[in-house]
C-alpha cells in the first residue's frame, strides 16, 4: 500500500514509528473504556471492536489503534497480536 493511500491517522502513526517519535506500546494504548481483546481495537467513533488489518497488529487488550508491522516484518492475516 502506498503511503498516500493510507488513512491520515495510519500515516501519522507510521511516520512517528519510523522517526522514533513513538513506540508501538505508546500508540496501542490500553484503555479501560473498551473491552477489545488483543488483536482487535476500537476505532474512533465506533461502538464495536474490529480486528487488526493484515499488515498491522494489536498486542494489548483495550487498544484504540492498530500498529503497522515494522519494516521487514510480515503480518499476513487480520487479528494479529504480534508482528
The per-residue pLDDT string of the chain (83 residues; one tens digit each, 9 = 90 and over) reads: 444 444 555 565 666 666 655 555 444 544 456 899 999 999 988 889 999 999 999 999 999 999 999 999 999 999 999 99
| pLDDT for the residue 6 | 46
| pLDDT for the residue 34 | 86
Distance of CA 52 to the CA centre of its chain: 6
Helix (H) or strand (E) holding 56: strand 56-57
Measured over the CA atoms of residue 17, residue 22, residue 24 and residue 28, the dihedral's sign is: negative
Distance (Å, whole) CA 9 – CA 4:
12
CB-count exposure of residue 32 (10 Å: 0-12, 13-18, 19+)? exposed
Amino acid at each position: 500500500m502506498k503511503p498516500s493511500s493510507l488513512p491520515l491517522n495510519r500515516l501519522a502513526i507510521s511516520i512517528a514509528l519510523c522517526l522514533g517519535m513513538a513506540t508501538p506500546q505508546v500508540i496501542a494504548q490500553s484503555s479501560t473504556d473498551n473491552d477489545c481483546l488483543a488483536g482487535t481495537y476500537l476505532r474512533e467513533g465506533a461502538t464495536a471492536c474490529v480486528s487488526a488489518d493484515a499488515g498491522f497488529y494489536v498486542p494489548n487488550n483495550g487498544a484504540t489503534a492498530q500498529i503497522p508491522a515494522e519494516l521487514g516484518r510480515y503480518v499476513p492475516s487480520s487479528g494479529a497480536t504480534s508482528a
